[in-house]
Structure 1
Amino acid sequence: MKLKPSLTVIAALALGSASLSSASAQTTIKVASLMPLSGGQSAIGTQARNGVELAVREYQPQFKRLGLTLQFLPFDDQADPATGTAAARKIASDRQVLAVVGALNSGVTIPVSAALAPSRVAMVSSASTANQVTDRGLKNVNRIVARDDAQGPAGANFIATNLKAKKVYVLNDKTAYGEGLANEVEKALKGRGIQVVGNEGTEEKNDFSGIIAKIKLQRPDAIYFGGIYNQVGVFIRQLREAGVTTPLVGGDGLDSQELLKIAGKSAENVYFTTGAAPVEALPAAKTFAATYQKTFKQPAQGFAVYGYDAAKVVLQGILNAAKANGNKAPTRAQVESAVRQGNFKGLLSGQASFNSVGDRKAATLYVMKVGGGQVKLSTTLAVKPGRS
């Protein structure tokens, strides 16, 4: 015998079905990051990724008030263009991902941004300085750091003015980042009448004896190395062990406490330019530093601030786009436009806005001095890092 369900049962089932439907229809927005989380550059990549996570946690309540669930998806690009591009394809296929913080390395950012451009996925790089990152005019690409043609000349000016060098040996790590910086430094040095006695690229990671021998013959007043801490740290140690005390200058790829560990006591008379002031230098960063230490059980460094600031630009852009869209999840195109048009105030990277190609219109660079087992502020430089 068939029993007819009562109206009460039918209503209850309908209510339950509606509740399940509502739960499944909860709008989720995702923000991805692309950083080297494994391999030789994992120290700075992890710092940047952690900075992004803290920014996401801060913004989640604001998204929740709009009925939006904000999620964070960190990807490991291993500082490798092919790995980064593979991750970009995954990001593009997930329609809930509206923007990316990264990549860290210029050599990864360039192909990844091209891969994401057709899908209109906005990117804000926290550390890619190569001119080509924005010179291609892609609408989805932005960055909070100064370009090579700003950071390079700043390093060259420091070498000429502060170190008073007349002869400089220039090195690079054969990446888009390192080559870009080294070439801009060479150009600026020659423009000031300073002799560049050598300019070479090297992928060597372990034995720099051949290069050091050439440096000894040339006897430069300063060395510039466009590269990353894991390679340059080994070079510095071997350079000092060979009795060469010449000042060494680099870019923000040296901005890691790992440099001190790798180079050890040899990390003396070393300088680097960076867009992030030391965390302890500004009162506004105290809360961030304390939260970072409590959350990740390690002190925050420059790349953590870079990641945090870049993430805030992305998150505020998405939030602005959502509000303009009637407090609903925006499209990727709307986010792309909102990020490019926004004004932002970074924790340590200052107040800024983007120009027509995604470069910041103005910024401050800091020259840091490494010595005595510490990294301290040497001088501050104001620059215009973007072309119009």
Structure 2
Amino acid sequence: MIGVGTATARAVAHPKTTRNLLTVAAVIVLVVPVALVAVPVSLVLAIGASGFGGGGGVCGGSAPSVEAGQKVDGYGPEQLKIAATIITVGQKMSVPLHGQTLAVMVAIGESGLRNLDHGDAVDNTTIGVFQQGAGYGTPAQRMDPATAAAAFYTRMLHVPNWQTLAPTLVAHAVQINADPNHYAPFWTPAEHVLAALTGASAGTCQVPADARAAAAVLVSAIQSKKLNFLEPRYQQQVTNMAEGTATPDCTIDAHLLQLIVVAVQSFQQVGVSDLNRRCTGMTPGAGTASAHWKGKAVDFYAINRQSLTGADTLSVQLIHALDPYAPHGSSAGQSDCRTRAHVSLGVLVNFTSDFPDTCNHQHIQVP
């Protein structure tokens, strides 16, 4: 394993059967039916460990870019271009920012963000920016930073509780190096690199401080087609919240709106199928006992234009992305879907319970 010496580089208004048909159609087309007028964000608060959810950040930044002559913690343009490739692959795989930071940390700790054609004195058979052995593929595959990064992420995502373990221990589980603490000094430089290239931070997430500001962010996401709704009336609920015209029966909980913002910031595209049912007068499922009736639940039917089942990889990633920012005591649906698929959510901090629901969306509710 090659180090870098000193680390100065530091769920809807229709019955379920009807919604199934709507969901299929929406996933194929993902239509945004109404053009909305943006409302300026009045107040944005950086929420971290002391915020409404606590824990580490997960919101993603923009596509990485490297400026001519740019240096970050001693790493120059060529090294930063490799870091940008690693980050881009992570974004395309919908890996949360924490995981992207972890991958950059490993690349720093293994090669100093250099695409090396040799290993070190301990193992000279490993090559590439991640110093991968023959088990990762051909030499050409291991020497291609994008392919190598995808291989690293694939293995990382299979490490149990990777989002809550110490990053160096996750890296150790993937890389199987001699010292499990080897990567610890490179976490901070990796954070600096991601912040410099994407404008994002693994330690904080920009979350609007109140319901109206959060709804305004979502209106902007609707306009850019990052946020899509299965039905216009649910989209209208968000619009009314942003404009301050929502009636008492049609309000949406501020924490819920904040979580939808986190989802939009964490993924390339988000599809929502259900919000406040009291506003629409619909009573499927739990009826008036549902958190939907109180404006405290949201159903996500798609992420990155892929249907959600509650047991697929993106559903699990979504729950983990929201967990640090959710109010403690929040709940997730589709427990039976995950049980049948032998899928575990792993360790969560603020989602303290789950319950059965239909396997065509991911239900999230706040207390």
TM-score bucket (shorter structure): under 0.3
More helix per residue: 1
TM-score, structure 1 normalization: 0.25
TM-score, structure 2 normalization: 0.26
Q: RCO higher in 1 or 2 (8 Å CA, sep ≥ 6)?
A: 2
